[in-house]
Amino acid sequence: MMRRRRIKMKMAVLSVSFRVRVWGRKDVIVSIKRSFNRATLVPSGKCAHIIKKSFLNRVDPKGYKWATISEEIKQFYWEEFQKKCHWDVADDGSVKTAWEHKAKQSYRQYIYNMSSRERNPTLEKPVHIEQAVWTAWNAIWNSEEFKKKSEQNKKNRRKGVEGGKAPPTHNGGSASHKQIAIDMEEYTGQAPSCFDIFMFTHTKDHDGKTLIDERSKKVHDYYVSRRADLEVIGEKVDDNDLFYRAVGGHDRKRRIYGLGSYGRSIFLANSSKECTPQDINSHSEQHQVKSKIQKMEDTIQQQQMELNEMRSTINNMRSLIEK
């Protein structure tokens, strides 16, 4: 029995050694992690390192940002990645798409590390970049147009706050909204609605009451008031559809506010029109709701009058009996 186990272990070692010997010791076996409609490279860190090394091997003189790199140079970076990484042939398309996304992110960080005084205080020229190219890039980075655009992008990322601590976008931590939804379902025993997830990730200490910013408060107020209106008139409430209306639908980048990537699995970005609560809650719909509410108030008032008359009659009868 022991001999059979040793033989199996030797065969396993030989199998692994054969694979490493064919591909090379430093080569990386890449797989794809799929999250909704996005594919990411695994292992992420090793793939990023290989991509970054390809940037050092060849520099595009016009490549002060990813968008200005020529297709020829991008193809070179892709070929360099293929030399060191291997994957299932069936994943070719997904790997290329994931590589493009990863390369774009890595190049942005690569440029930031060179051009930012926070990372490169003396703005020292990297060894792999020629002086003429470095001078040209610095001229662009120091131009008023580039600085203005960079500053605006920084404000957008920080929600308009220039200094100090930027306001939080949510308090879900590093956990994805999908994982939060799974955890909430395991804890409560039922699938959470989009609004449940939103309230968990957008209230202080997850208390379900203290909203973290003004925008989340507006979404909450609209959702709660609109839900109350629908319940008053006896309309069936679709919680996810109501939440979609409350946040204004998809934004211009086809994202759903408050749900992160989890929103892609709930709502399809099949409309080119950006919707807002004001668009959905049209004047005709408001009039219809107000009309129904008015009728119900009239009915309640009529019933109240009849009840008062009955009480008056009962009181008169009691006074006659007492006499």
Residue 72, token pair as written in the block: 């020829």
pLDDT digits (tens, 9 = 90+) for 128-185: 999 999 999 999 999 999 888 888 877 776 665 555 555 556 666 667 778 888 888 8
Q: Where exactly are the structural domains of the chain?
A: 21-157, 177-280
pLDDT digits (tens, 9 = 90+) for 17-36: 323 333 445 688 999 887 54
* pLDDT reading at 125 higher than 90: yes
Distance CA(271)–CA(251), nearest Å, equals 10
Residue 126: the pLDDT is: 94
Q: Which whole-number Å values give the CA distances from 221 to 82, 172, 203, 217, 309, in the listed order?
A: 52, 21, 13, 6, 40
Q: Within 13 Å of residue 268, how many CA atoms lie on the same side as its CB?
A: 1
pLDDT digits (tens, 9 = 90+) for 303-313: 888 888 888 88
User: For the range 82-88, what are the long-range contacts, defined as Cβ-Cβ under 8 Å and sequence gap of 24 or more?
Assistant: 84/26, 84/27, 84/28, 84/50, 85/27, 85/28, 85/29, 85/30, 85/47, 85/50, 86/23, 86/27, 86/28, 86/29, 86/30, 87/29, 87/30, 87/31, 87/32, 88/31
Answer whether 0.75 is exceeded by the pTM.
no
* pLDDT reading at 15 higher than 80: no
26 by Cβ neighbours in 10 Å (0-12 / 13-18 / 19+) ranks as exposed
